Amino acid sequence: MTKTLTWELRVLAMCGAICAAPALAEDFTPPDILILGDSQLSFGAGPVFLDFFSNLHENCAMSATQSTQLDQLDQSRVSVIGVRSTSVPSWIATGGRAKDTVCKVDPTWRVNAGSYGYQNTSGNQYVQIGQGAPYQFCAAGQSPLQHMFRDDYYDPSLVVFNFLGNSARRWADSPERAIQDVTEMMAQLPDDQACIFMTTAPAYRQNTVDLRLRAQDNLQAAFDVVGQQCTFVEGATPETIAANLGNASHFRRRANGTVKDPFHPNTAASETFFDLQRGAICDAIFAELDPAPAEPFLVVSTMDESMYDMPVVAVAKVVTAN
């Protein structure tokens, strides 16, 4: 077990006895806006995602047409779920170690995810996928994504995926694997599902940033080829990299001030990230609500942890650099 994973599990364990609280009531109403990602959501970004998507009218400077577009989304029903050490391969796998990352209960800590938003009324942010009505994503022979989007369960007006680090090496080393993963992901989404895929915020160290940039380039190319159902947003840009690279105040630190977790930007870093990416994120939202809006949103320039092993189908609306 890696030091990073051990640390994540130790933090999750702080939920203590609260994790043993009764499951939520089975009369579950699913979210209208779903943000799904990895441990970056659990360790800093989750509350910031929740605040941004719960207040879109305030956060996206809009024309009258775009304000009406946002009325399609129920901003009171926003859910953010971050499952530790997961990536796209975890959510599209029908079995094996990749799927276990989402579905297997940790024998020590009993939790593997952070959950934020209207559907989590437990008073505790940490949950175990598979326990409680909002987290029934696991069934034999199906991937977590397939089971989530089954009939009469999750049917969001907008889903936002936020991944990169846990498959960075896989995607950086193989454009073909990036295409395979995006192809299978598109095949498992409902045909009419509005979708944004945004890569996660940059890390603290240069070598990690360089690896993830290569992964992001290959992933974006894969969305160009097979992922047109989703709007792609680059999370690693010159601006967001400059904000995080070597900036100890954006990461968890030891008592002596040195960075102890260089992979998960903290809440302050996430707030800065959304300030920098606001235009790109809002553009992506409007692109999904209406692929050809009558009054384009103000264009904002954006420049721009490994897992497992599908034929090419489908075709990405990409928020490009200007």
Calpha distance 110→138 (Å, rounded): 16
Q: Tell which residue, 16, 4, 81, has the closest CA to residue 45.
A: 81
Residues 6+ apart with CB under 8 A from 260: 7, 251, 252, 253, 254
CB atoms within 10 A of CB 68: 12
Model pLDDT for residues 128-146, shown as the tens digit of each residue = 999 999 999 999 999 999 9
Three-state secondary structure string covering 1-61: CCHHHHHHHHHHHCCHHHHHCCCCCCCCCCCCEEEEECHHHHHHHHHHHHHHHHCHHHHCC
Which three-class secondary structure state does DSSP give residue 119? coil
109 band by pLDDT with thresholds 50, 70 and 90: confident
The amino acid at 285: I
Residue 2, classified by CB atoms within 10 Å of its CB into exposed (0-12), middle (13-18) or buried (19+), is exposed
If you average pLDDT over each of 6-15, 18-27, 105-114, 280-289, which comes out highest? 280-289
At residue 26, the pLDDT reads 58
Residue 305 has pLDDT above 70, yes or no: no
Residue 30 has pLDDT above 90, yes or no: yes
Q: CA dist 99 to 88, 135, 142, 161, 243, Å?
A: 10, 14, 10, 17, 34
Chain centroid to Cα 272, Å, comes to 17
Average predicted confidence (pLDDT) for the chain: 86
pLDDT in tens, 142-165: 999 999 999 999 999 999 999 999
pLDDT tens-place string over residues 45-96: 999 999 999 999 999 988 999 999 999 999 999 999 999 999 999 999 999 9
Copy the structure tokens of residue 217: 């380039």
The confidence band for 310, taking pLDDT boundaries of 50, 70 and 90, is: very low
